[in-house]
């Protein structure tokens, strides 16, 4: 049995020290809570915001005037298909305070001297993305958390959450700081889950042989969504998979930082918005017509290029600076080394594989799930999107409310399920041979991509999804018997695949239930978009080992 070496007691345990997790920890500590934060890597450089970001969705009253200006623009954007309106309003209302906090702490929210909004915008319409310099954001937030006495446990991926009759009661983590694994238990009165985006569920689109070439950090495998699912938490919008786009073959977010025009090989612009590079708007084409790159390829009219050659020298310099704020220094170094100059060269763009980012744990206005004391924040929120802005703001909101449970008594006993789960993970480590995590992850990706991929040009159907669900069950049984890990790192990866499998199942049952085509969810057996389902969200959860589902109205 892998030994349990450390135990902690906390008012609030935070899972994941990304943008949302660090903000939650800071807010909870500000209210006097004892906070333990666990991260899979090191909070200084972990997650999707590791080396920077540069566009922060927010409302700045003196720039926008009424909040509805930002709300309307946001609801028209690429990922707004999963938004409950009251949550969006709370996010936007709270955003000026958070932006100012970040600025005071030393994350430069006014790199041009004042609040300036640019990129991700339509010509002639309001702009809602604040241009900022996030290159140091993780270090600053880590410092702020430490200053408030937050205990940060790095290299401590969480494996499970536990609940008792009243609510959430703690988490089990793995110490992966050395080769030998050991367990860590954190007893807590409230838990904020903030493990970010879900990568590695579908076959990597640009590079099928390179599983870690993903647009967001591949250490994000939706761990806490799956852990929450296993204790009966409601998940929502799981069928709404998303596909991002960007340069090929190096997969990376940050497309809005490129100041150029998407063009056909014959030079015509792909979209209707701009004909020459515009630093204020960027080219919105890929935000609106996200399948453009795939459409062009499959129709034989592609590939599509990002052409910045018409930008002024000054704008190209600005773009280079912005790419550093955005954390794209590896891309810049590579381009410099290879002599790729955006002023002269057009870079091919393409769509990446499907991911989960506007789906996950269903929260209320305070960030709390249906399980008492279990909060979720960031990319894993199921009913509000908004990337870095929403992660920062809702992280703070969730931490603020999680701290309210500090007056409860701590459940100090070992959670009822802890022994069984520790034995489960220990068995993987004690097995001497079997299936590696890579083998299991590729097997899962094959099934997901073949039976549950989303559009464009891929369809779902009742028979395909039913077959996929059956095959996932078969894979699960094999994994339970055969998965093996030779060190702590491999055991962490094996646990990730187990989580991804749970999410694959939740995704497939949801996709089967949504009997219409909508956006990227294309059903060959229900080819129409049903207006009656427009504002309906599908909730899924587990109860006594059975999957349950219910439709609800989107909150307006």
Partner 1 sequence: MPPVINTEACLGCGICADVCPLQVFRHNKVTDKVPEVKRPYECWHCNACVLDCPAHAIELRLPLTHMLLYVDADTLKPRDLPAR
Ligand X SMILES: Cc1cc2nc3c(=O)[nH]c(=O)nc-3n(C[C@H](O)[C@H](O)[C@H](O)COP(=O)(O)OP(=O)(O)OC[C@H]3O[C@@H](n4cnc5c(N)ncnc54)[C@H](O)[C@@H]3O)c2cc1C
Q: Of 42-71, which residues contact ligand X (CB under 6 A)?
A: 46-49, 53-55, 57
Q: Which of 219, 351, 417, 499 binds partner 1 (CB under 8 A)?
A: 219
Q: Which of 344, 407, 543, 545 binds partner 1 (CB under 8 A)?
A: 344
Partner from partner 1, ligand X, none binding residue 547, C-beta < 5-8 Å depending on class: none
Nearer Cβ to partner 1, position 347 or 447?
A: 347
Contact status: 285 vs partner 1 (CB under 8 A): no
Q: Of 286-325, which residues contact partner 1 (CB under 8 A)?
A: 303, 305, 307-309
Q: Which of 64, 240, 244, 248 binds partner 1 (CB under 8 A)?
A: 248
The number of beta carbons lying within 10 Å of the beta carbon of residue 32 is 12
Nearer Cβ to partner 1, position 249 or 528?
A: 249
* Cβ-proximal residue to ligand X, closest one: 18
DSSP-derived 3-state class of residue 93: helix
Question: Nearest approach, Cβ of 226 to partner 1 (angstroms)?
Answer: 19
Q: Which of 391, 454, 485, 497 binds ligand X (CB under 6 A)?
A: 391
* DSSP at 380: G
Q: Whole-angstrom Cα distance, residue 37 to residue 18?
A: 10
Contact status: 388 vs ligand X (CB under 6 A): yes
Partner from ligand X, partner 1, none binding residue 20, C-beta < 5-8 Å depending on class: ligand X
- Given phi > 0 = left and psi -120 to 50 = alpha, else beta, which region is 406? alpha
Buried b / exposed e along 163-192 (16+ C-beta atoms within 10 A): beeebbbbbbbbbbeeeebbbbbbbbbbbb
Contact status: 170 vs ligand X (CB under 6 A): no
Question: Nearest approach, Cβ of 274 to partner 1 (angstroms)?
Answer: 15
Nearest CA to 257 out of 343, 344, 131 is that of 131
Contact status: 38 vs ligand X (CB under 6 A): yes
Q: Of 73-92, which residues contact ligand X (CB under 6 A)?
A: none
Nearer Cβ to ligand X, position 264 or 424?
A: 424
Contact status: 432 vs partner 1 (CB under 8 A): no
Q: Whole-angstrom Cα distance, residue 13 to residue 152?
A: 10
Question: Nearest approach, Cβ of 74 to ligand X (angstroms)?
Answer: 11
Q: Whole-angstrom Cα distance, residue 110 to residue 97?
A: 14
Q: Which residue has the tokens 């290029």?
A: 305
Contact status: 539 vs ligand X (CB under 6 A): no
To the nearest 10°, report the CA torsion of 239, 222, 206, 451: -40
How far from 165 is each of 162, 371, 373, 541, 549, CA to CA, in Å?
A: 10, 10, 12, 17, 22
The residue range among 91-99, 114-122, 226-234, 248-256 that interacts with partner 1, by the rule CB under 8 A, is 248-256
The 3-class secondary structure across 226-251, one letter per residue, is HHHHHCCCCEECCCCCEEEEEECCCC
Question: Nearest approach, Cβ of 64 to partner 1 (angstroms)?
Answer: 33
Contact status: 2 vs partner 1 (CB under 8 A): no
Q: Whole-angstrom Cα distance, residue 542 to residue 191?
A: 19
Q: Which of 58, 60, 201, 216 binds ligand X (CB under 6 A)?
A: 216
Asked if 235 and 540 touch (Cβ cutoff 8 Å), the reply is yes
Phi and psi angles of residue 149, each rounded to the nearest 5 degrees, phi first: 85, 15
Asked if 483 and 503 touch (Cβ cutoff 8 Å), the reply is no
Q: Which of 4, 6, 31, 44 binds partner 1 (CB under 8 A)?
A: 44
Maximum distance among all Cα pairs of the chain, rounded to whole angstroms: 68
Question: Nearest approach, Cβ of 251 to partner 1 (angstroms)?
Answer: 8
Contact status: 333 vs partner 1 (CB under 8 A): yes
Contact status: 502 vs ligand X (CB under 6 A): no
Q: Whole-angstrom Cα distance, residue 131 to residue 325?
A: 9
Nearer Cβ to partner 1, position 215 or 233?
A: 215
User: Total residues contacting partner 1 (rule CB under 8 A)?
Assistant: 52
Q: Whole-angstrom Cα distance, residue 4 to residue 486?
A: 18
Q: Whole-angstrom Cα distance, residue 361 to residue 539?
A: 9
The residue range among 180-188, 236-244, 326-334, 468-476 that interacts with partner 1, by the rule CB under 8 A, is 326-334
Q: What angle do CA 145, 152, 217 make, to 5 degrees?
A: 90
Contact status: 39 vs ligand X (CB under 6 A): yes
Question: Nearest approach, Cβ of 284 to ligand X (angstroms)?
Answer: 15
Nearest CA to 198 out of 424, 361, 420 is that of 361
Q: Which of 160, 205, 223, 368 binds ligand X (CB under 6 A)?
A: 223
Question: Nearest approach, Cβ of 228 to partner 1 (angstroms)?
Answer: 22
Q: Of 306-365, which residues contact ligand X (CB under 6 A)?
A: 326-327
How far is the first Cα of the chain from the last one, in angstroms, to the nearest whole number?
50
Q: Which of 92, 176, 184, 259 binds partner 1 (CB under 8 A)?
A: 176
Q: Which helix (H) or strand (E) element contains residue 547?
A: strand 546-553
Q: Whole-angstrom Cα distance, residue 332 to residue 317?
A: 12
Contact status: 18 vs ligand X (CB under 6 A): yes
Q: Of 265-284, which residues contact partner 1 (CB under 8 A)?
A: 265-267
Q: Whole-angstrom Cα distance, residue 481 to residue 487?
A: 18
Q: Of 106-165, which residues contact partner 1 (CB under 8 A)?
A: 154-155
Question: Nearest approach, Cβ of 316 to partner 1 (angstroms)?
Answer: 12
Asked if 163 and 374 touch (Cβ cutoff 8 Å), the reply is yes
- Report the interface residues with partner 1, using CB under 8 A: 40-42, 44-47, 50-51, 154-155, 176, 179, 207, 209-214, 217-219, 247-250, 263-267, 303, 305, 307-309, 327, 329-331, 333-335, 338, 340, 344-348, 489
- Report the interface residues with ligand X, using CB under 6 A: 15-21, 38-41, 46-49, 53-55, 57, 157-158, 194-197, 216-217, 219-220, 223, 252-254, 326-327, 378-379, 387-389, 391
């Amino acid at each position: 049995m892998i030994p349990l070496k450390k135990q902690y007691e906390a008012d609030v345990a935070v899972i994941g020290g990304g943008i949302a997790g660090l903000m939650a920890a800071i807010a909870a500590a500000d209210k006097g809570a004892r906070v333990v934060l666990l991260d899979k890597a090191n909070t200084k450089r972990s997650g999707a915001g590791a080396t920077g970001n540069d566009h922060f969705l927010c409302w700045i009253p003196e720039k926008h005037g009424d909040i509805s200006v930002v709300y309307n623009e946001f609801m028209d954007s690429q990922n707004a298909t999963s938004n409950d309106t009251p949550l969006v309003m709370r996010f936007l209302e709270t955003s000026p305070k958070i932006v100012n906090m970040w600025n005071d702490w030393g994350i430069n929210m006014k790199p041009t001297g004042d609040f300036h909004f640019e990129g991700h915008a339509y010509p002639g319409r309001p702009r809602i993305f604040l241009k900022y310099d996030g290159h140091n954001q993780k270090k600053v937030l880590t410092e702020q958390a430490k200053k408030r006495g937050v205990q940060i446990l790095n290299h401590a991926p969480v494996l499970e959450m536990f609940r008792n009759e009243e609510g959430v009661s703690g988490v089990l983590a793995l110490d992966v700081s050395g080769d030998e694994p050991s367990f860590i238990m954190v007893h807590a009165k409230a838990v904020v889950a903030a493990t970010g985006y879900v990568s590695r569920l579908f076959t990597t689109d640009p590079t099928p042989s390179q599983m870690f070439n993903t647009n967001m950090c591949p250490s994000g495998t939706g761990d806490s969504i799956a852990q929450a699912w296993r204790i009966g938490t409601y998940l929502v919008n799981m069928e709404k998979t998303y596909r991002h786009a960007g340069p090929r073959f190096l997969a990376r977010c940050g497309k809005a930082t490129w100041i150029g025009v998407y063009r056909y090989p014959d030079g015509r612009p792909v979209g209707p918005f701009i004909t020459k590079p515009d630093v204020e708007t960027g080219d919105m084409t890929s935000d609106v017509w996200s399948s453009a790159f795939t459409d062009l390829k499959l129709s034989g009219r592609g590939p599509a290029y990002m052409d910045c050659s018409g930008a002024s020298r000054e704008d190209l310099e600005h773009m280079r600076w912005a790419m550093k704020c955005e954390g794209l220094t590896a891309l810049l170094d590579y381009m410099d080394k290879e002599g790729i100059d955006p002023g002269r060269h057009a870079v091919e763009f393409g769509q990446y594989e499907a991911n989960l980012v506007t789906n996950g744990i269903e929260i209320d206005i305070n960030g709390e799930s249906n399980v008492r004391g279990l909060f979720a924040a960031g990319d894993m929120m199921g009913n509000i999107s908004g990337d870095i802005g929403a992660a920062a703001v809702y992280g703070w909101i969730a931490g603020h409310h999680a701290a309210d449970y500090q007056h409860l008594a701590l459940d100090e006993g070992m959670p009822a399920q802890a022994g069984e789960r520790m034995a489960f993970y220990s068995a993987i480590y004690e097995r001497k041979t079997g299936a590696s995590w890579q083998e299991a992850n590729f097997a899962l990706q094959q099934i997901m991509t073949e039976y549950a991929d989303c559009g464009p040009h891929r369809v779902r159907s009742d028979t395909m999804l039913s077959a996929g669900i059956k095959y996932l069950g078969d894979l699960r049984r094999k994994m339970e018997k055969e998965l093996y890990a030779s060190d702590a790192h491999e055991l962490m990866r094996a646990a990730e695949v187990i989580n991804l499998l749970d999410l694959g199942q939740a995704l497939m049952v949801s996709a089967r239930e949504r009997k219409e085509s909508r956006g990227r969810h294309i059903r060959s057996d229900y080819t129409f978009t049903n207006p009656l389902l427009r504002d309906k969200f599908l909730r899924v959860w587990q109860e006594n080992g059975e999957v349950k589902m219910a439709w609800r109205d989107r909150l307006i």
